[in-house]
Structure 1
């Protein structure tokens, strides 16, 4: 019995080193993680690198389409009014209602434009017949919804809409759908607080300066149309929400916002100033800019605003009554600047790649 026990102990002692060596050769199990391995793999790829998405988000395209539609309303109504009155104030009209309608209508036209790939053998049919016909039909429907069923479409109006359809398909959408948007990286700092000294650097370059100037000029139309429409609703109980602006506002807002954007780049990215320190500088510059433009336009009889009936005004060209609005717009200016920094235009993009990306976007 004792010999058998000794033999069994020898066998066990001979097997234990082998088992321990096997265990040492086995890979150690990783610690439990709340994230699946596939998610970790994704984060190590495009998301972690902040690569650009193939196109602009839907909300951004709708925003641009509404602003673009209001800009066309202002340009056309301003030109029509100038032909009849020769007024150098160059007043133009639109409304928030029209902004929403233009946004939705142009989104539908975008879907039609993306069907261009089905007419590769017949491009003239698409560009000269199909797309203009749908465009003219939508614009006629929008006009009747706004002005009422009694409003007719003259031959000149139809011809104008046809030319705008050619501009829309051959220039606007062709360029606009090339815009791409960089996805913001995780953990990126906002624009309102201090930046650590190591992170203060020159901001990334988004759209070219010329395109940002155009964007800010168009956004100036949007701001004034919404402001005057709401003001007319409160002061005059005008439920049509018809707002007005001036053609000169495009250059005023475009240049002012462009300079304020440069101030934002310097004060925030270089000096690390928070929002509460930047806003007073923005406000002083905005009031100075409005006063300068007002004096110049008034000299030629082209100034479209007069604040003489408001308290706290100076020469009828600026008033502290609008200070809360300028503060909100100044803060929103920083938001727009950050958005435009993530938008860029693809350097070269074939039509095949464009429609592939567009198809993946609409899927």
Structure 2
């Protein structure tokens, strides 16, 4: 009797502890297995979107730098068009397929990265530059342009394609759950870093302004070339503004449960304030690229209510972009999701092989 009374509680407590441990283990492994199973490569439409937007950014950057060298213009205005956006998307999608064939150059990576890929890249860029004037005359490419194209080819093969290969898409999980998993204090983030989101929003600002100004030139000036323009300062302005608006979206929508029409006035007030402050500072250095003095309902020529519908549309679209970026994961940091055993990372590596 004494032995039974003395041993039974210990045995029962041990059995209870073991049962709790075994019951808890599947719950810890299940999220990481589900996370690894639902992670996929970026969709094709997302590749095309990124390539087109990135191509417009390069157009604006190169043309604005050329303007600085020739005219010393502090406005840093650059040019592109919707046509070039589509061409960049298609050509870089083709270059992605060519980059995926680097495995055929095993043992000769220098030949692929320094000779083959740059040659194809330069050839496609020359074709794009001549496609408008091909029926009239072939445009001669200068030595400086060849050097620039070669440097860009190295950038794409060594930086851009490699970075894109580390991104995975998470389409099967709710955005609210993804936000909580990334913002939790006990779990390090595997989402896109803040500087990458800033760069994305800055490039998207370039795309927005080029599309808007090209449509404006078509309607007002009957410009059939669909040439649009923006400024390098817009990259900083749009990137920082959208970055803050995204934080507002996460806090107000996921944190407080505010609906779209309750958040929208806050977005609009912040956007107008941001545009006015940036314009006021840039005007002091004669670097402000916009002037709304001839528009109705303007204030100091820096903001106007005439563009309110456009800002509303962009604010709503901003939430869509934030949800898309929320679903993107960096595979380099997936060990924080897979736990100590790194199960998710192992699954992804096995899939790649």
TM range (shorter): 0.7 to 0.9
Structure 2 unmatched ranges of 5 or more: 1-29, 183-188, 335-344
Per-residue deviation, 1:48: 6.6
Q: 2:55 aligns with which of 48, 52, 69?
A: 69
* CA 355–266 in structure 1, closer or farther in 2 if over 3 Å, else same: same
Does structure 1 residue 241 correspond to structure 2 residue 226?
yes
Partner of 1:120: 106
Structure 1 unmatched ranges of 5 or more: 1-43, 191-198
Q: Is the 8 A contact 1:201 1:270 kept in 2?
A: no
* CA 189–132 in structure 1, closer or farther in 2 if over 3 Å, else same: closer
Say what the alpha-carbon RMSD is for the aligned residues: 2.5
Per-residue deviation, 1:45: 11
CA distance in 2, matches of 1:232, 1:47: 52
Partner of 2:68: 82
CA distance in 2, matches of 1:334, 1:244: 25
* CA 200–155 in structure 1, closer or farther in 2 if over 3 Å, else same: closer
Q: Select the structure that is richer in helix.
A: 2
* CA 310–203 in structure 1, closer or farther in 2 if over 3 Å, else same: farther
Partner of 2:95: 109
Q: 1:340 aligns with which of 325, 329, 351?
A: 325
Q: 3-state DSSP class of the match of 1:244?
A: strand
Give CA deviations for 1:167-189 in whole Å, capped at 9, x if unaligned: 1101111111211111223xx47
CA distance in 2, matches of 1:158, 1:111: 23
CA distance in 1, matches of 2:130, 2:220: 27
Q: 1:278 aligns with which of 252, 255, 263?
A: 263
Q: Would you say how many aligned residue pairs link Structure 1 and Structure 2?
A: 303
Q: What is the TM-score of this pair, normalised by structure 1?
A: 0.79
Partner of 1:269: 254
CA distance in 2, matches of 1:302, 1:345: 37
Matches within 5 A, 1:122-271: 122-146=108-132, 148=134, 149-185=137-173, 188=174, 202=180, 204=182, 206-271=191-256
Partner of 2:39: 53
CA distance in 1, matches of 2:198, 2:175: 26
CA distance in 1, matches of 2:270, 2:138: 47
Q: What is the TM-score of this pair, normalised by structure 2?
A: 0.81
Q: 1:319 aligns with which of 304, 315, 321?
A: 304
CA distance in 1, matches of 2:311, 2:227: 21
